[in-house]
Structures are given as structure tokens and as C-alpha cells.
Chains A and B, each alone.
Chain A
């Protein structure tokens, strides 16, 4: 097993290097890190030239890349436009996005398993058809539209009741929140709508996977054997069926990490969360090259890691893979 993991790890190193170069070129070609300086009437040409030299902007791309990647490997991601270390910004935004993604993933998995299994067990019933239809609607739904609809409905509800039950701006309240309980309820209140949005768009596809794999398992020989041995139906379903039917979902969830990133970019824009997604958009709009490059690199790295995790989990659950 360890050898398998090491082999996969080794394979992802060159991949990351290629990705880092691609990312660097992509951003270097798109933005001017000195844009903001040039815009100021009071900044002299010498000051701009000096800054340009400090950032190696006068060097060829490959030299700049080597300088940058060396720094990155030493753990230095550089400074953002406003002088704050990029790493600090990313860390702060990461914790915000992580809260959204983890909460959404947990709820979505639970929902997907319940809906998927029920659909499989009660195949071709009204329940199955409605679940299927709902799944289709949600995974055909553009995230930004769903987010906007939920936001509008929530505010209409607030207006109808006269209380602000759902909040729509940011990941936390702006007031002086004191005490653990208040803090928790404040954060939770702000999480409801964004999390719900992400849950709905992700659970849909997952519930389909779950339904399919459950159906496959239901027809499998060992299920028939278990029933023949007189094991109660409930136990057959849960102990034998569900357990095996969960394997494909585990890997899908890990692989779908990129989907969650895509979703969070849009959701954070609609709900004004200060997470990774919004940070990235802002960095592009402001031409904050150091920040966008680091962001993409981290995102690519995270996807590679999640894929690795998916492979490992799959290998652990299904021993046949290891030797393939």
C-alpha cells in the first residue's frame, strides 16, 4: 500500500511542476502588477522602473518563473498589491471557504446517500421519479441562478415575517459579537443560504451515482446469497448492500473537489463571502498577479491531492486496484 501511495505521489510531482509553469505563464500574460502604480498621477517613472526591477519584470518569462518557483518552494508566495503577504490572505480566505465546502459536502453526501438508496430500493415508484427529476433539475441549474433565487426567496421571507432570519451578506455579522454561543449562531446563520446552494447543486449528481451503484449491488450475487441464508431484509440492505454501494461515491466525492471550487467561486460572489473564490476574482480584477498565480497553484495542488486521496481511498476499499 505504501509503495502504491509513494508511486502515485512521485507521479504527481512532475504534474505539479508542469501545472505551476502553465499557471505562471497564464497569469503573467494577463496582468500588470504595476497597474495601480501607473495609474497614480504622482508616481514618477523612476519609482515604477525601480519597482519593475524589484519584481524582475524586465527579465524573460522563464527567468521570472524560476525565481518565483524557487521562492514558492521555500514557502514564500510573495506580497499582494497592498503589501500583505499572499500566504496570509490565502490562509484567511481558505478557512472561510473550507467552512462552506466541508459543511456543504457533509450535508450533500448524507442527502445523496439517503435519496440515492431510497430511489434504488423503491425503484420506479413516485418517489424514485420525483427524486430523479429533482436531481436533473438541480444539476442542470446554473449555480449563480440557484443562489440568486434562494437569496430572493429568503429575503422575501424575511420581509414577510419582519425579522432577519436569513442573512445574505458575508460569512459573519459585522457587529460586536461576543460569547461563544452568539458567535456560533452568527456564523451558522450566515452559512445557511450559501451552504444550501452548494448542497443542492452537488447532491444531485451524487445521488444519481449512489442510486446506480446501489442498484448494481441489489442485483449482485452476494445479496441473493445473504437473502437465501435468511438474513433479514433490513440487515441485507444496510450491512451488505449500502456498505458496498458507498465505495464509488467516496471516490466521486473526492474527485468532484474541482466542482466544489467552481461552485464556491460563484456562491461567494453572490453572497459576498470573503473566501478563496472572491479573493481570486478580486485579484484578477485588480491585476494582483502574485495573488492570482499563487491561488491557481494552490488550487491545482489541492485538486491533485484530492485525486490522490480518491485513488488511495479506492485502493483501500477495493484491493484489486492496488495490483493493477
Chain B
């Protein structure tokens, strides 16, 4: 449960590694870009049941109310998307006739052409009116909108014709290719009571994707059926896809074992993997992307705010041992993560930093603490002027994966005389109260990577950033981040991103542990499944899913 919460905001942001790669690779428009399956491998008909963690609250993914993973997964195959990411991070332009074109550089003007074949399931074409309505609402300050990133830089939106539109940017915006995601039909929203915020609460309206909405049995499942108006390849062959809600992740192994769901996407974790490896007829695929697990160190805290304590923690922490215990058993190639900005270590340009912390060095940790005046006490716990070096570790109550990490860390830190006490509270309380308010010392968190590392890093480490839970502030970092955000040059952005990371390793607002592996588990009878570590998730190519012949 906590995982969906931590993953949620980041998946909203739209895709920089992807964009950067797209810039260099200059991807061509490709009709069969969504996956590799052909109709030949798939039997006609059948049903696929997808085990979904969250039940949608409505379908307007742009609103904060509905911007949860559970909604994204469903609308992925329903609404208009200008671009989606392939598993390798490159973009393909499903909803467009061509890649968006930069018409002018100063000011930046970009032109999009909607695919002439893009049609809503009620038979009307997808037009610039849909785009305009979406834009007007996202930028309307009165509306409940989860993120306006990018849209807030557009000073003018021109509708050239029914299928072509241009946006003029106030300042340069390198990530424009990721705009126009999950756009619902304007005509439907306008005619529905409830409008932008509540108009899609029960029904997403017409679909522009390979599937269309059929039924929502509240509390239980959502059913999608093939959209006859879908003109692109691949075309769905199954009769329906059912999203079966399983909020208790503990029911996943048995549900797969008992064939009550066919496919599930979840965070790969030790116990789940061991339980699933035991189930016959199941395929397990692990992928890593920019998602990562880390410790947040509160810079405003009197104890953890002390650089000596942070450095000692970093030295004492044996991150390799954590990876070896928690991830390596099912993903032998897993490694610790040494970059806080370019968190997808496999992507070109991500350099490891923080060399002094690569291997655990308890002696160095002890030296630093000793020097800073923390002297070992009789019970092994260090103390300074009568105050014990006891740090509270806030964690989500009842989250077993977290508890395992916690125990490992507690063990490692105790060896240098740092005493961790573990304080648990419900996810809602930790993520919406304690973290934003800075009422914690150390906590464990996952950030899901958006493919925009620089934008993410600004939110996470920039002064006053929305995800800056450690309340970190460094003028040099802010300056580097600003430069990186404004450059349109991919190589330069990567260079600056690495510079930003070096600054972070000096100050340690967080300690990255490892890239978080994602699991797609599915019945071997399914074909066409391709895990996708980007924000689009495994459902990106659901049009090509089917049952094997």
C-alpha cells in the first residue's frame, strides 16, 4: 500500500532520459511500436485478469484525486497519449502523425500533429478541441490538478486545424515530448455533470486507445473490451481485460497460484519472489529502471542535521550487504546505487559518485563520530554531552519489506555505536504528515523514477522543492540544477546532472540504496507481455496481449 503512494507522484511527471535518448536516437514513427507480438501467436478470444493494487477513484488522471497508479494503469489503454515510452526508455508517438516538431527555437514553439487515424470509440475523431479543453483545465488555477509541470510554461496554444496545434513556451522546456498524456474526450467531459473534476468519476467516456471501458463493479473489478475504432497495430485479440482489485498484497501469491488472476505487476521483494518462484506455470520477469530505494536524512534535525553524523551513517552503512540480502537472491546482477540524480544506472551517462562510501568502513565512521565528540557509552551507544546517539527511524506500520531493510540497517549502525529506534505509523500519516512537515529524523522511502532526472532532482533536492523531505538547501546545487533544466543539449544536461550529484554526495540529503526491481508475474499461457520499467508500466502494450494458441 505504501508503495503505490510513494510511486504515485513521480509517475505523474513526464519522461528526461527518455527524451534525451529520443533526441539522440531520433526515433522514427513506427506503426507497430507497441510491442512485438503478432496476431499469429495469439489465440482469438479469452480473458486476462490483471491483479490491480489500487481501485480507481475516478478516471481523470490529471486531477490529484485520480492521479494514482491504479487509474494510470486503466486509462493507459483508453485515453489519448501523444507519446508513450518503450521498455528501453525511447518514446514512440502513438497518438501523433509524426514526432512533435520544433518550429522555432527563440521563443520555443512546438507543433504537434494528431494521428489522422486517432478516433474516439464513439466514432468522432480525436481533434485539437480535445487538446484545448485539456490544456484550459490543467492550467486553470481553480481546478484540482496534480501537476502542471510543462503546461505552466505554455504562454499560447494555437489550433492550426482540427489535427494540428502549436504551443509557444514562455521559457525553454526540453521535456515537451512528454506532454499530452491521458487526455480524455472533451465533448464527453463538457456534457457530463461534474465536469473536469468529477465528470469521470464513474465512467471514463469514449476511448481513443485499443480498449474501451465496459463495466466497473465497485470494490471488485473494471472490465475493458477491445475498441472497434482502434485502427493501429497491434489490435487486441482477447475478449476482455479485467482489472481485479487486490489491495491486500498478501493475497497476490495465492491468487496467482489459484489462477484467479493471470498477471500482476508489483514491486519485486524477497518474500514475494520466494513465494512466487514456488508456483508452477508462472513466468517472472524483473526489470529495473530509475526507481530506487533510499534513506532520507532530515537536515533540519538537530542530530541528523550534523554533517559528521550523516557521514558516519554513510560510512557505517553496508549497502552491498543490504543488496546481497534483499535483492540479490532473486536478481543476482543487482548492485548498490551510487547516483542520486541519474538513478537509472543502466542508462548512458549515469556515473557512480560518493567513492568514499562504496564499501562500508565502520572504522571511518567511528573516527568521525569520535572526532565530533560522540564518545562510546557503557552500553555501546555513543553519547555527546550526556545525550545518547539514538536516532528515530520512521517507517510505515505493517510494511514487511521495509521492516527487513530497517533491521539490516539497525544492525549495521549499532556496530559503530549509533542506536536506531524504530517508530512506525500508517502510510497516510508518514507520507502526508510527518515527511512534508519534517517531523522525522531518518526514514526509508522509494522514489519512482520519472524519465526526467533533472526535474525530479530539483523537486527532491532544490531549495523548497515539493519532494525535498530532507529540507536540503545548497546554492551551488540550485544553480547547477537551473542550468541543467534550461539546456536543450542532452550531453550537457547529463554532465550537469553528474555535477549536481557530486554536490549531493558532499552533503548527503539522502543515501541511495539500490534500484528498486519491478516484477511482472504472469501465467505462462499469456503471450505478448513485455515489462516496461518506465511510467507506462507493463500495460503499455496491452493491445498485443493474448492467450497462446
Contacts and interface: CB of A to CB of B under 8 A. Distances in A.
- Are chains A and B touching directly in their complex (CB below 8 angstroms)? yes
Interface of A: 31-32, 34-44, 47, 81-84, 89, 92-93, 96, 151, 155, 158-159, 164, 166-172, 174-176, 269-272, 274, 278-279, 282, 284-287
A81 B147 contact: no
Most chain A beta carbons < 10 A, residue from B145, B220, B259, B427: B220
A278 B280 CA distance: 30
A158 B259 CA distance: 10
B426 A168 contact: no
A284 B427 CA distance: 10
Chain A interface helix/strand/loop/mixed? loop
Given A40-B9, A43-B146, A168-B254, A285 B219 contact: no
A285 B428 CA distance: 6
A174 B433 contact: no
A37 B467 CA distance: 14
B258 A167 contact: yes
B301 interface: no
A94 B312 CA distance: 54
B260 interface: yes
B246 A169 contact: yes
Contacts of B1: 285
B286 interface: no
Contacts of B64: 36-37, 40, 42-43
B220 A274 contact: yes
Given A169-B244, A176-B240, A269-B248, A84 B201 contact: yes
A34 B433 CA distance: 10
A174 B432 contact: no
A167 B198 contact: no
Contacts of A41: 9, 146-147, 459, 466-467
A272 B65 CA distance: 24
B254 A287 contact: no
A174 B254 contact: no
B260 A43 contact: no
Contacts of A169: 244, 246, 251, 254-255, 258, 260-261
A270 to B, nearest CB: 8
Most chain B beta carbons < 10 A, residue from A82, A155, A175, A272: A272
Contact of A172 (B8, B65, B220): B220
Interface of B: 1, 5, 8-9, 12, 47, 49, 57-58, 64-65, 67, 141, 144-149, 198, 201, 218-221, 223, 239-240, 242, 244-248, 251, 254-255, 257-261, 280, 426-429, 431-433, 436, 459, 466-467
A169 B262 CA distance: 13
Given A32-B429, A42-B148, A285-B428, 14 more contacts: A39-B5, A42-B64, A43-B144, A84-B218, A164-B258, A164-B260, A168-B260, A169-B244, A169-B251, A169-B260, A270-B251, A271-B251, A272-B255, A278-B248
A282 B247 CA distance: 8
Closest 9 pairs between A and B when the two form their complex, measured CB to CB: A82-B57, A41-B466, A274-B219, A35-B432, A287-B428, A40-B64, A42-B147, A39-B432, A169-B260
B223 A82 contact: no
Contacts of A171: 220
B433 A40 contact: no
B144 A174 contact: no
A44 B1 CA distance: 25
B426 A284 contact: yes
A151 B254 contact: yes
A91 to B, nearest CB: 11
Contacts of B280: 159
Contacts of B239: 176
Nearest to A152: B254
Nearest to B437: A38
Contacts of B248: 269, 272, 278
Nearest to A33: B428
A174 B247 contact: no
Nearest to A42: B147
